[in-house]
Structure 1
Amino acid sequence: MDVIKQIVWFPKAVRILLLWLALCLPLTCFLPQARAQQTGSDPFEDTYELVLQVQRKQEVITNSLLAFQRGYDGYYLPVKGLADILGLYVNLDLAAGTATGWYLKPGQDYEINATNKTYILRGELIDFALDDIFIKDFGSGFGDIYVRLEVLNEIWPLEMEIDFSTLKMDVNTASKLPYEQKRDRLKQRENLLARRAGENFDLTGYKNIENPYRFYSPPVVDISTSSRWEQETGNIDNRTNFSGKSDLLGFSADYNLNLQYLDHKFVSPEDLRMTLTRRSFGTDSMPLGIREVTLGDTALRAPDLTVSSNGGRGAYISSRPIKRTGTFDEIVVEGSAIPGWEIELYRNSELLDFGVVQDTGYYRFENVQLLAGSNRIKVILYGPEGQVEEIVETHEIGGGLLSPGHVEYEAGIID
């Protein structure tokens, strides 16, 4: 009886096993096909990460730009990550799959849409290829839009190149990038502060050595000569110039003499000049506020309405400062701007001052000096996202004008 039960039970177990296999085997046949379809729906599943060093002109900008590679030469760069490194403005909406901004300055706008696989450049709507762009979401709000290197070079003409063997990317554009422009501005500001420090240089411990005009001092003479010989006639033409400087009679004496030897004889000197000059520097002055006296061969400064100056033997006196500052007047430069923006003040191409717009949206630069000639006063405003605005005004000051309340005179006579 026990033997019969075992024979009956065994075939039943076999039947159950066969039934289970019959149900499972068809499912296993469909699983690889379903997985293959899922893999084929994501063309970027076979990409892998690259950590690149970004450099420009042998200068390392960062050692950790996260990029992706697909195949042998398919490199994908993060739009937001790269923009932050180079100082380019971009507004990333990861949920919408869009990135908008401008390249270097407003007006060079672009818009990238990873969802629709399109981008707008210079007002033209252009389609991405299916494998040119993808969104990488790392979760918790972190992620970026990745664009193929060649396409991103069209949107941003940065001329980027990747060397896979060294995992380095070079940025080769000839245009200065925002971070470079900002560095140049900071350098200019440092130079301005250094100049200001130099103007207030502490002379404590230095000796002031007087060097007054003397009745006589040994001259310093320069002699130059040239000769020419003509073989056919045997004539010799020699020219010699003597020029010197010394103190004489309480003046500084400048003299010049030209001698010529021609056709075997000396030619009477026709160019013999001597000028005595005395000047007052700094706070020193001569009687009646005279700053300069010239005797001998001199030239009279041309009045503003004449064509040229006159020169000859005579005398000249002037109360004009020897070293003119050129300052005619002072103005106040003021206006309104967006609070927090950086601001710089220029006169022509010279940086005069800099700062940050106050919370009130008001800026003010006092005691801005105007010089003789053309004064192009320019205010440049820099926004946090690469915006640049300029405000320019021009002041024309005649070179012969004096500051209000200031009097100068000069007089001269020549034969």
Structure 2
Amino acid sequence: MKAGKSILYVIRQISFCLIWAWVGFSSTFSFAQDEVHCEEVWLNLKAEDIGSIELPSMICGREVYLSISRLFDFLKIKNLYDNELGELHGYIYNSKDKYLISEQELKIEYQDSIYNLRPDAIKSSGNGLFLKADYFEDIFGLENEFIFSRLSINLKASAELPIVRVAKREQLRKNLQQLKQEFIADTVIKRDHSFFKFGNGAWAVQNIENSESQDFRRFDLALRGEFLGGDLVADLSYNNRNHLDSRAQFYKWRYVNNSGKLFKQVSAGKVNPGSISTLFDPLIGVQITNRSSFSRKEFGTYLLSDITQPDWMVELYLNEQLIDYKRADNAGRYTFNVPLLYGNNKIEIRLYGPWGEEEIINKNINIPYKLLSKGKFEYSLTGGYLEKRNKSFYSQLKMDYGLSRQLSIGGGLEYLSTLNKNRFMPFVHSSVNLRSRFFLNGEYIYGLGFRGNFNYTSPSSLRLDFNYSRYNKDQDALRFRYREEIQARLALPVKTKFFKGTSRLSYLQYDYPNYTLKRSQLTFSGIAFGRNFNLNTQAFFTDFADPIATSDLSSIIKFSDKLFAIPRLGFSYSTMSLNYLRSEFKMNLFEKANINFTYDYDFNYEQHNVQLGFRYNLDFARFGGVANYNKYNTSFSQYISGGFEPGQNDKFIQFSEDKLPGRGSLSFLAFLDLNANGKKDASEPVVPELQVKSHSGGVRKKSSDGQYSFTQLTPHMPHYFELNSSYFPNISWRLKDKSLSIEVTPNTTTVVEVPIEVVGEIGGFIYRDEKTVKIPVSGIKLNIYDENNELVGQCLSQSDGYFHFLGLSSGAFSLKMDPDQSKRIGMTMTPVLFDIQNDIDGDIVDGFELFVTSN
């Protein structure tokens, strides 16, 4: 029956033209008739800044009538119809802006006014009430223009319609979700926990041969997977000098549940405590914390209130995205609750007056990650022993609490059994945010000393950081000799006629018992005269030697897309001579291979150094080598590394590039779900035309067969993906879900199967049987039911009686007239049974000729 569709389409178009020719002819001679003939049609209505729809309408001669309820539904205008009174009522812009349209009394009540209508102003049919287009403009301010030749009507509102407000609010919600990385997906895929599952691994081999020393060989093997529902990582390292040194090995098991209340992470093995003491050996133990495994994003809200001119429109932008808007009150006041994110928050207020006035107010609020939102409590508890020092026990308890939006406090206790003077170290710390641009952080450790940090960010992006630490003379927890440390950094953007970039000035000072060491550094990096430049000048000062001052200048010279050079020059102010000269050349031979050549000359030691290297990336490994020569020695090094993971498509294991440790990967497999079971069967073909977009970062790759994969994804958190079917070659292929939220499993490539539905369509004509003449009937609503009598689709007949519906899965269906419409207009239709059997191109069942009869 598929071939019949083209024939029916031609018949439909011919009949449509004949009907319109008849309508135009009858309208031309309408003056000789008692009543103008009216024809129900579908017009393409285009609303400015909103969109377009096919709108049920009536054309009577050259006059056009629009369906009131359908138009108001499209514009999100509330409308309720009273069958007994024949009245339609609701409100336009707000609940006080009420209206009433009466067919029986031929009147419209709106905004405390009554408009009496002419007898031909309202018409009715089985599709409800139709109002002449002129009245929509004269009464409700809905300007419209009917274009007869195109059968379309353009509409423009004089004020902001509800649908515009709804669309703006929806866009604001999307903008806010984008900033917070919070999305609502069609389907949520949670992580599956396993008792044991191998995830992936990595390996690396390195060999260094040196003419003046012992050769060095190293082998590394990393194994990652899942055990008892947690992440398991084991990194093994061997070399020919230290062999299997236990301190060079790493192993850790970590269980993560970011929705947990008492704890969110439990780790066992070699853990990182973030200790105050200096630990020279790895810590083997257990760590429990209620901190989330991923970085905090949302901090809280900030109440922003100000005064402008009365009735001005105020828009709120956060990090250049519109997130809210409102109109100032009669006194000019406006208030926003601004959601704040960790990091820098660029807030912009745009004010618009009624006569085109415009003002912009900028504000920056920086939220450091050390600051907790109000009422939030975090803790971590760690305990264990230092490797190779079995009698050295270590433990730490650390707690933090958000006292207010500007103040966080915390403290804890650290214990290390091998210390004599600082075995127990209680500590307290606090973080304060002052006037949104100043941040102060301080910590005091009993028996050890104190340290603090202050930073400031100006509206012009100037940033100042200052750190100060002072330690007790007799402490034995920190294994360095200086008692006082001062660090200061100043960064400022620079923009002149010849240079655009950043400048950084830093100062570092260490106070030792017998002397002081100072270092200052000034750096300019940016673009000058069309080239990238980096100038770094530093000076060293001590109490027992002359000052040393040097400068380093480097640039990047691009000869082509595949060849560039990095020249470097060092200069000494002490000797007023060159220190060194270096030139590095890099060339991409083709997509997967490159070589580099470096030449150095040290003027102080009169020494040349030449280095030649290459690298080649295969699909399963990366290998390369480096040759180095100078007057003291010659060395050659070779390396090869790669990764492996469980194989797909009946492969036991497959080799691949090394995956980033601790991250997860997703591979999307789109296929035609011919049997509608939601799983890919061997006979179901792959659909390479599916487009996948990530809103959570990661590295996107597309394979030769068109499948998308994303690597280096942060695990244990939902990642939002949008699926796009615009490039599908067949309109019968449908996506069930257009967005997915997927919780990523670490150290594993998860295959996400995306079933593509294949749907069928039906089509035909509806007539009213008037003896020997078949008269097309428009506006008949048809309901489609499956074999369980569940409603699965609806369609309306058009002006030529044609109906069509696309979107049916395989199965048995029935086609019936809508019972509410049947009762309202007093007409019935005999139900029709049909079957859909979809193949790869779907199925088409058409040729229906249905008849409605009066009761």
TM-score category (smaller protein): 0.3 to 0.5
Which has the higher Rg, Structure 1 or Structure 2? 1
Higher helix share goes to which structure? 1
TM-score (norm 2): 0.22
Higher strand share goes to which structure? 2
TM-score (norm 1): 0.42
